[in-house]
Amino acid sequence: MDVDRILDHEKAERILQEGWVLFQQKGYRGVTIDELCARCELTKPTLYYYFQDKEHLFVSVLQYRLKGFHGVIDQPGTLVERLERIAISILESFQAEYNILLRDREHIKDPEALNQIRDAFHRELFGPLIRLMQGGIDDGELAGSDPQYLSLIFMGIVNNLIGRAAEFHMDTHSLARDLVHKFLNGVKK
């Protein structure tokens, strides 16, 4: 195996990991390439070797972090188990509400890059979640007829609780269980 190729991959992965942290903390406009290079301990030419520009780096970071959510959703289990797994995965993966990252799309000028972001969210997260909701409707576990609407409600609940487990004196798993329970059963006594 080519050692330089392994090192190159590790550098690119480090850029993606550090970029994920920074973009969540500061938003697209708040992150500078200089800051990212300093965090990754590499030069600008090295970063630009992997990523054409900041816009393409942002797209790559989102694609990198979203990859795998569909695998979490598609794992076998009951509807409750699957919803809890995806809630835990989102709560543990995001430091800031995901809609902040979606809002940062306004800074992306390349239409193809915008399509890539939209496709990544749909392919990795919303599409599988919509299919899960449709299965719940088909099996009579969920009321309603619009799985997209149910997915948006669920994601809205999860999104609003990102980074807030301690505020409610819960760990991530307890928070996920509670929010799934409330999603499925409501809050009525």
| pLDDT score at 128 | 96
Residue 189 pLDDT level (bands cut at 50, 70, 90): confident
Residue of 98 and 152 predicted with greater confidence: 152
| pLDDT score at 50 | 87
| pLDDT score at 1 | 27
Number of domains in the chain: 2
| pLDDT score at 64 | 87
Round to whole Å and give the CA distance between 59 and 4.
Answer: 25
Shared domain check, 43 and 84: no
| pLDDT score at 3 | 23
| pLDDT score at 80 | 97
Shared domain check, 33 and 54: yes
Q: What is the DSSP string of 104-165?
A: GGGG---HHHHHHHHHHHIIIIIHHHHHHHHHHHHTTSS-SS-HHHHHHHHHHHHHHTTT-T
Q: How confident is the model over 82-137, as pLDDT tens digits?
A: 999 999 999 998 876 666 666 777 788 888 888 888 888 899 999 999 999 999 99
Round to whole Å and give the CA distance between 179 and 172.
Answer: 10
Shared domain check, 107 and 18: no
Shared domain check, 68 and 47: no
- Count of residues for the chain? 189
Shared domain check, 54 and 68: no
Shared domain check, 7 and 81: no
Q: What is the CATH number of the domain that holds 35?
A: 1.10.10.60
Tell me which residue range forms the domain holding 155.
Answer: 63-185
Shared domain check, 115 and 26: no
Shared domain check, 81 and 161: yes
The whole-model pTM stands at 0.82
Q: What is the CATH number of the domain that holds 130?
A: 1.10.357.10
Q: How confident is the model over 32-77, as pLDDT tens digits?
A: 999 999 999 999 998 998 888 999 899 888 888 888 888 999 999 9
**Residue 28 buriedness (CB in 10 A; 0-12 / 13-18 / 19+):** buried
Shared domain check, 130 and 104: yes
Shared domain check, 123 and 91: yes
Shared domain check, 85 and 58: no
Shared domain check, 103 and 47: no
Of the residues 13, 46, 62, the one at which a domain ends: 62
